[in-house]
Amino acid sequence: MLSIYLTDTQQHVQFNDYPSDQPVKFLLNLKKIFPSTGDLLLPVLPEDNDLENVTWESTSKDFEIFKKLLAGWGVIELRLNAITAYKDKNFANELIKQAQAKRKKVAQKNHQLSLV
């Protein structure tokens, strides 16, 4: 479970709608895929530096964006798992490369689009 402090409303919220039992590891892996998520949730280390007790800070707006990102990522992950189950891994890897190339092409045409 993630313990998140919303700085704009000064509220503490608990969030557990993510596909892992290790929240810190999950968020670090998510930040590798989506580097901009580093700005949505900021880690706050406890005094004893125990990563199991990390809390997070965010604004209400950024937290809503984060929840939408997780929901979208869940759909993508399900589709990729289905593709790898019914096709081979090389097919899934090629599909991902094509999607990345298309995303890069769209980003070049529309450079004003937000990454989030």
Domain boundaries of the chain, sorted by first residue? 2-109
User: For strand 2-6 and strand 55-58, is the pairing parallel, antiparallel, or unpaired?
Assistant: parallel
Yes or no: say if 70 and 18 are a contact pair by the CB < 8 Å rule.
yes
Calpha distance 10→60 (Å, rounded): 10
pLDDT in tens, 14-69: 888 777 777 777 787 778 877 877 788 888 888 887 777 788 899 999 999 988 88
Q: Which pLDDT score is estimated for 115?
A: 55
| Exposure of 6 in the CB half-sphere (CA atoms within 13 A) | 15
Q: pTM of whole model > 0.85?
A: no
pLDDT of residue 8: 93
Which neighbouring-strand residues pair with 31? none
Phi-psi region of 10 (alpha: psi -120 to 50; beta: other; left: phi over 0): left
